Amino acid sequence: MATTAKMFEEPFDADEYIERLAWRTPGGGSKGGAEAFDPKRLLEEFENHIEELKQLDEKIQRRVEKLEHQCQREAKEFAHKVQDLQRSNQVAFQHFQELDVHISYVATKVCHLGDQLEGVNTPRQRAVEAQRLMTYFNEFLDGELRSDVFNNPDKIKEAADIIQKLHLIAQELPFDRFADVKAKIASKYHDLERQLIQEFTAAQRRGEIGRMREVAAVLLHFKGYAHCVDVYIKQCQEGAYVRNDVFEDTAVLCQRVNKQVGEVFSSPEAVMAKLIQNIFENKLQAHVREKLDETRHSDVEQYLKNLYDLYTKTTALAAKLSEFNLGSDKHTFLSKLIKNIFSSYLESYIDMEREYLHTRSAVILQRYYDSKNHQKRPIGTGSIQELKERIRQRTNLPLGPSIDTHGETFLSQEVVVNLLQETRHAFERCHRLSDPSDLPKNAFSIFLLLVEHLCVDHIDYALEIGLSAIPSADAKNANLYFLDVVQQANTIFHLFDKQFNDHLMPLISSSPKLTECLHKKKEVIEQMEVKLDTGIDRTLNCMVGQMKHILATEQKKTDFRPEDENNVMIQYTTACSKVCAYVSRQVERVRKSMDGKNVDTVLTELGVRFHRLIHEHLQQYSYSSMGGMLAICDVAEYRRCAKDFRVPLVLQLFDTLHALCNLLVVAPDNLKQVCSGEQLTSLDRNLLHAFVQLRVDYRSARLGRHFS
């Protein structure tokens, strides 16, 4: 096969190349089997091909050498060209430097010549201007204005420039000699000023911004420029207030005017500020006065709502207007305008807020008590009441007659929501309307009113009534409504705490009033918790008293010493059944009335008292063998009831009591072993002995010897 350089281009595989060469050689491949293979022919082909490769290599090498020589020659030629260009560049740079020096020299000469010409021309121009003004001054002196500039309406701009300069000159002249001419110049000055303002007004009505800009530029040097601005501001407001919302109309008006003043006046920020000041001092102030004065004395609630609404809208409008260019201190400027409108109302705001909140809260409470046909009882204060409170806390005695509330808690979530809502509105108004320095103090005063009406006049009063309604511990079939009071009081406390955190804390969090508020809140809650604890304790006493009454009326001595030992068919006694049913109801009531750890705390106390009662009750009887078994069944039922408490301590107490009851039935020979059991070994031996003494066979079986 013909050998070319392209056959060795990448990717090149030498093994594949040799295989292909051998395959194409007759007798060199595997075609035809081993008999057809001719190694000599293959060797000869390889030798010939090697010669071809050598020739190809020499050919390629010669070509490479030729290209290398050509590249070296071109590199030398390029280097010569670069050197020639560098020399040309140096020559051009020298010429540029020479030209730059020459241009600087010529420019210096031109500037010097210009200064000389200006020095000659300026006095000449001043002299020409002075001569021209003297000519016009002579016309005023003669009393006849002959120049076309004063008689042609189209040249009012030029006439204004002349009369403004003559007016300045006339002010320097002595009055006694030039009184007449000064009066004529002044008259013409005011006449032109009036014409310019009229022209500006007409152009504004036609919407000709370019003409307005020209006239305003001329009037800028006149005393009547301020009057021109006033006219512009007045005309801007014509027809601008077409909606019922004066604040929205004002925002739209200022947005439109802000785009225009920059095209008309040379100092748009001053014109814009004057427009806003005019709107605030006239339109907005009149609107605020009208809205507030009509309700200030007749409807305080509506007055406070209007004040809050108007102040909020005004500050929101000021925030929008602050986006415009009103000068360097625009925020102070806008704040001052707002203060000028509302200062007389804000000074008395907090007093009216407190008075309204006090009156409104009292009305809400009185309306509730009236709906219950309840005449509110006076709660005693002073040293006698404090003495009664201390005695009640320490002795748990019901001081004073018990009253029947017929199940009424005198706590209303609707009343609480209304009081909290009124207070929330008061906090919102206080936040918006109070001076930042007075905000914590004002918020604290509102909080004190909430404490007075919600915590003292409503919750504390209900607790006092609830405490008075708790019957004595020995009352029969007592209705224990105090747990309902506890349940509602807990709900109200959560609402009270939520408002404290959500609405009061943000207003006082960074002020010294925070400590006072937290202290007051803690003090109020602690006072109420004391009364709640007292009421719960007395309620538990009533529950235990009711259990005691059931046991006293239902438990018979023959229950544990049956006449026929072999004919006892009941699983537990009637007294046990009724007590367990009563306890289960009370446990459920406690769970509904409490939340959190309070449930476990109260149930633990009730369970301990329940255990103590049953323990003491069982020690009042003597037990036969079958009676002891029945006592064990009763205690097992009591223990099952104790599981409803879900308190490990209570269950443990009844487990121990159940183990003690086993002493009533154990065989005399096994008594000592049972007393040493796991549940009884830690108990006082006197307690074990006391239970063993309840057995009817205590003396006959000589059981006392086990404890001697």
pTM for the complete prediction?
Answer: 0.68
Task: State the average pLDDT over residues 190-210.
Answer: 78
Quote the CA–CA distance of 412 and 368 in Å, as a whole number: 8
Quote the CA–CA distance of 554 and 577 in Å, as a whole number: 10
Does the pLDDT of residue 690 top 60, yes or no? yes
Give tens-digit pLDDT for 564-585: 666 555 678 899 999 999 999 9
537 occurs within a structural domain: no
Q: Do 202 and 103 reside in the same domain of the chain?
A: no
The owner of tokens 């086990």 is 706
Quote the CA–CA distance of 84 and 443 in Å, as a whole number: 91
> Among 254, 201, 253, 202, which residue's Cα sits nearest to residue 230?
201
Both tokens of residue 240?
């601008």
Cβ–Cβ < 8 Å for 291, 347: no
pLDDT score, position 535: 92
Residues in a beta bridge with 70: none
Range with the largest mean pLDDT of 118-127, 186-195, 431-440: 431-440
Q: Do 119 and 224 reside in the same domain of the chain?
A: no
Q: Do 114 and 184 reside in the same domain of the chain?
A: no
Does the pLDDT of residue 177 top 90, yes or no? no
335 occurs within a structural domain: no
Confidence of residue 652 (pLDDT cuts 50, 70, 90): very high
pLDDT score, position 36: 64
Quote the CA–CA distance of 649 and 654 in Å, as a whole number: 9
Give tens-digit pLDDT for 370-412: 998 888 877 654 444 444 545 544 454 444 445 555 668 888 8
Task: State the average pLDDT over residues 85-107.
Answer: 88
- For residue 694, give every residue at least 6 positions away whose Cβ sits within 8 Å of its Cβ, in sequence order, or none: 618, 619, 621, 622, 623, 664
pLDDT score, position 404: 54
pLDDT score, position 606: 94
Confidence of residue 651 (pLDDT cuts 50, 70, 90): very high
Quote the CA–CA distance of 359 and 371 in Å, as a whole number: 18
Does the pLDDT of residue 140 top 60, yes or no? no
Q: Do 185 and 269 reside in the same domain of the chain?
A: yes
Q: Which of 232-246, 430-444, 487-501 has the lowest mean pLDDT?
A: 232-246
Q: Do 189 and 316 reside in the same domain of the chain?
A: yes
Number of domains making up the chain: 4
Task: State the average pLDDT over residues 479-498.
Answer: 88
Does the pLDDT of residue 556 top 70, yes or no? yes
Confidence of residue 696 (pLDDT cuts 50, 70, 90): confident
Does the pLDDT of residue 143 top 70, yes or no? no
Both tokens of residue 561?
């010493």
Does the pLDDT of residue 648 top 90, yes or no? yes
320 occurs within a structural domain: yes
Confidence of residue 49 (pLDDT cuts 50, 70, 90): confident
Cβ–Cβ < 8 Å for 308, 433: yes
| C-alpha dist (Å) from residue 4 to 8, 14, 47, 62 | 8, 15, 17, 15
Quote the CA–CA distance of 493 and 303 in Å, as a whole number: 31
Q: Which of 194-208, 347-361, 542-556 has the lowest mean pLDDT?
A: 194-208
Does the pLDDT of residue 426 top 90, yes or no? yes
DSSP string, 603-656: HHHHHHHHHHHHHHHHTTS-B-HHHHHHHHHHHHHHHHHHGGG--HHHHHHHHH
20 occurs within a structural domain: no
Q: Do 156 and 261 reside in the same domain of the chain?
A: yes
Confidence of residue 172 (pLDDT cuts 50, 70, 90): low
Does the pLDDT of residue 604 top 90, yes or no? yes
The owner of tokens 């000068």 is 327
> Among 418, 466, 423, 480, which residue's Cα sits nearest to residue 447?
423
- Distance of alpha carbon 137 from the chain centroid: 73
Q: Do 684 and 592 reside in the same domain of the chain?
A: yes
User: Quick count: other Cβ atoms within 10 Å of Cβ 79?
Assistant: 10
Quote the CA–CA distance of 362 and 381 in Å, as a whole number: 20
Residues in a beta bridge with 695: 623
pLDDT score, position 708: 67
Quote the CA–CA distance of 79 and 307 in Å, as a whole number: 91
Buried b (16+ CB within 10 A) or exposed e, 618-629: beebbbbebbbb
| C-alpha dist (Å) from residue 476 to 384, 479, 549, 610, 615 | 31, 9, 7, 17, 22
Q: Do 257 and 325 reside in the same domain of the chain?
A: yes
Buried b (16+ CB within 10 A) or exposed e, 658-688: bbbbbbbbbebeebeebbeeeebeeeeeeeb
> Among 28, 23, 29, which residue's Cα sits nearest to residue 44?
28
Quote the CA–CA distance of 627 and 663 in Å, as a whole number: 12
Handedness of CA 455, 461, 466, 467 (dihedral sign): positive
Task: State the average pLDDT over residues 173-200.
Answer: 65
pLDDT score, position 548: 93
Q: Which of 117-121, 481-485, 496-500 has the lowest mean pLDDT?
A: 117-121
Q: How many CA atoms lie within 13 A of 410 on its CB side?
A: 29
Answer with the residue of higher pLDDT: 135 or 212.
212
Does the pLDDT of residue 304 top 90, yes or no? yes
Domain end residue (candidates: 142, 158, 177): 142
> Among 404, 446, 444, 396, which residue's Cα sits nearest to residue 425?
446
Domain end residue (candidates: 123, 142, 161): 142
Q: Do 493 and 638 reside in the same domain of the chain?
A: no
> Among 254, 280, 293, which residue's Cα sits nearest to residue 338?
280
Confidence of residue 115 (pLDDT cuts 50, 70, 90): confident
Quote the CA–CA distance of 639 and 655 in Å, as a whole number: 7
User: Any alpha helices (H) in 143-206, and if so which ranges?
Assistant: 148-151, 156-172, 175-206
Q: How many CA atoms lie within 13 A of 551 on its CB side?
A: 23
Q: Do 128 and 169 reside in the same domain of the chain?
A: no
> Among 21, 20, 16, which residue's Cα sits nearest to residue 41?
21
Give tens-digit pLDDT for 354-379: 999 999 999 999 999 999 888 887 76
Domain end residue (candidates: 513, 530, 547): 530
pLDDT score, position 442: 93
pLDDT score, position 108: 83
Answer with the residue of higher pLDDT: 486 or 406.
486
Q: What is the mean pLDDT of the chain?
A: 82
Q: 563 phi and psi, to 5 degrees?
A: -65, -40
Does the pLDDT of residue 427 top 90, yes or no? yes
Q: Do 125 and 179 reside in the same domain of the chain?
A: no
Does the pLDDT of residue 148 top 60, yes or no? no
Q: How large is the C-alpha radius of gyration of the chain?
A: 56
pLDDT score, position 393: 45
Q: Indicate the SS3 state at residue 695.
A: strand
User: Quick count: other Cβ atoms within 10 Å of Cβ 590?
Assistant: 23
Show the domain range for 210: 150-329
Say which DSSP state 683 is in. S
Which domain CATH number covers 652?
1.20.58
Both tokens of residue 480?
């224990």
Left if phi > 0, otherwise alpha if psi is -120 to 50, otherwise beta: which for 53? alpha
pLDDT score, position 184: 60
pLDDT score, position 396: 47
Does the pLDDT of residue 543 top 80, yes or no? yes
Q: Which of 259-263, 503-507, 615-619 has the lowest mean pLDDT?
A: 259-263
Say which DSSP state 10 is in. S
Handedness of CA 131, 135, 136, 137 (dihedral sign): positive
Both tokens of residue 621?
């009887």
Q: Do 190 and 285 reside in the same domain of the chain?
A: yes
Does the pLDDT of residue 253 top 80, yes or no? yes
Task: State the average pLDDT over residues 332-359.
Answer: 91
Answer with the residue of higher pLDDT: 236 or 631.
631
